[in-house]
Amino acid sequence: VQLQASGGGLVQAGGSLRLSCVASERAFSALVIAWFRQVPGKEREFVAAIRKSGGHTYYVDSVKGRFTISRDNAKNTVLLQMNSLKPEDTAVYYCAAGLRTILSTTTDPRGYDFWGQGTQVTVSS
């Protein structure tokens, strides 16, 4: 297994969750590791990404100021701290690793090579 996502759960609006994505050595060496989310009947949506070089981060507008993506290099782990959660954040969250992902394809799920199994996040109103 290249990526293992965990940390989802049920939380009330305004609450917090922290998602973890533990990666294999190969996956963690990828240029970019990202989080996407998906609700039934909709396309997979980009949430956040972090580049290996320089640690540059990217976020979809709807989570800016609320979510923070970070890398723990000692544990081959990428974290997604989610604060001030809203019901519209409810989705299955997936982590992904892109070996050759370039800046222009950071938000495109087709640009990623490995995917975790997903973890459910449910935010109640």
% of the chain residues with pLDDT over 90: 84
Per-residue pLDDT tens digits for 45-104? 999 999 998 889 999 999 999 999 999 989 999 999 999 999 999 999 999 999 988 888
Question: What is the pLDDT, as a whole number, of residue 103?
Answer: 82
Q: Residue 39 CB: number of other CB atoms within 10 A?
A: 12
**Strand arrangement, sheet containing 77-82:** 3-6, 17-23, 77-82, 67-72
